[in-house]
Amino acid sequence: MLFTIKSQTINVNVPTWDDLESRVEARLRERSGFSLATINLDHLVKLNRSSVFRDAYQRQDFVVADGNPIVWMSKLAKQPVELIPGSDAILPLAKVAARNAVPVAFVGSTAESLASAKAFLETEVPGLEVALCISPPMGFDPLSEAADEVLRQVEASGAGLCFVALGAPKQEVLSARGRTVAPTVGFASIGAGLDFFAGSQKRAPDWARRYALEWMWRMLGNPRRLGVRYLKCLLILPGQVVQALALRARNQL
């Protein structure tokens, strides 16, 4: 599934959960590193505004569909992909790391949340080693020398997989930079996923996710912050639908 933003093409190139796990496992065994992004409508809005974010996305090795609208548009384009939210990818990817004896690292969130997430995952996933937890300070710049030092610490810890929980676009920018500064490490941008495990943020209930209403549940919990975000997402949706229909037409030629 392709998205065109400011003449740049973004390809959702990992269509299924099985494909994601097999590709990550291969990279972990080779210690060749990777960066993983999870695209959604909010990312598309930000990609339209930020050349730095677009450049970071161009350097992602793997892109999955994080959001039902992305999945719906993929079906409309006749290039269907599965829904793979970043927060849902943490546990299966941690299991892949554990069975290959690859330590993991956490970057982002708060020190308290990372400690709680570490305890949860090491209990939930037998054999998992969380080698390093780093909670960057407020105002952390993913393009700074301080960011490079964080990336060097991750690689020096022996971690082969790093979950980056800084929110978009910081996490994707840091992950893209990691491909140069720490090339043996796989970086997975996962948003608030570690906070869900720690209990510092509450995930939408199962019924909301089942009926694709997680966005509404979240907005009702914080309308002032999320109302404008979701309005912007809604406004770009018609243009993305047109793109999907055009892609479908090209594929049928």
Cβ atoms of 214 and 182 closer than 8 Å? no
pLDDT at 3: 87
Is pLDDT at 204 greater than 80 in this prediction? no
Quick one: what percent of the chain has pLDDT higher than 70?
99
Query: HSE (CB half, 13 Å, CA atoms) of 216?
Result: 8
Enter the pTM of the model.
0.93
Pair of tokens at residue 152: 């060097």
Q: Is 203 helix (H, G, I), strand (E, B) or coil?
A: coil
Q: How many CB atoms lie within 10 A of CB 42?
A: 19
CB 12 within 8 A of CB 64: yes
Q: What is the rounded CA–CA span in Å between residue 86 and residue 84?
A: 6
Residue 111 belongs to what domain range? 2-251
Average pLDDT over residues 224-253: 85
Rounded to an integer, the average pLDDT of 97-118 is 96
Rounded Cα distance between 200 and 121, Å, is 15
The whole-number pLDDT of residue 253 equals 64
Which DSSP helix (H) or strand (E) runs through 152?
helix 145-156
Overall domain count for the chain: 1
User: What pLDDT shows up at residue 4?
Assistant: 84
CA nearest 57: which of 7, 11, 103?
11
d(CA 239, CA 216): 22
Q: pLDDT tens digit string along 150-175?
A: 999 999 999 999 999 999 999 999 99
Other CB atoms within a 10 A radius of the CB of residue 58 amount to: 11
pLDDT tens-digit readout, 57-88: 999 999 999 989 999 999 999 999 999 999 99
Q: How far apart are CA 176 and CA 181, in angstroms?
A: 9
Rounded to whole angstroms, the maximal C-alpha distance in the chain is 55
HSE of 197, CA atoms in CB hemisphere, 13 A: 30
Q: What is the pLDDT of residue 65?
A: 97
Is 164 in a helix, a strand, or coil? Answer: strand
> What's the CA gap between 116 and 98, in Å, rounded?
18
Q: How many helices (H) and strands (E) does the chain have?
A: 12, 8
Q: Write down the mean pLDDT value for the chain.
A: 92
Alpha helices, DSSP H, located in 77-110: 86-99
217 — pLDDT class (breaks 50, 70, 90): low
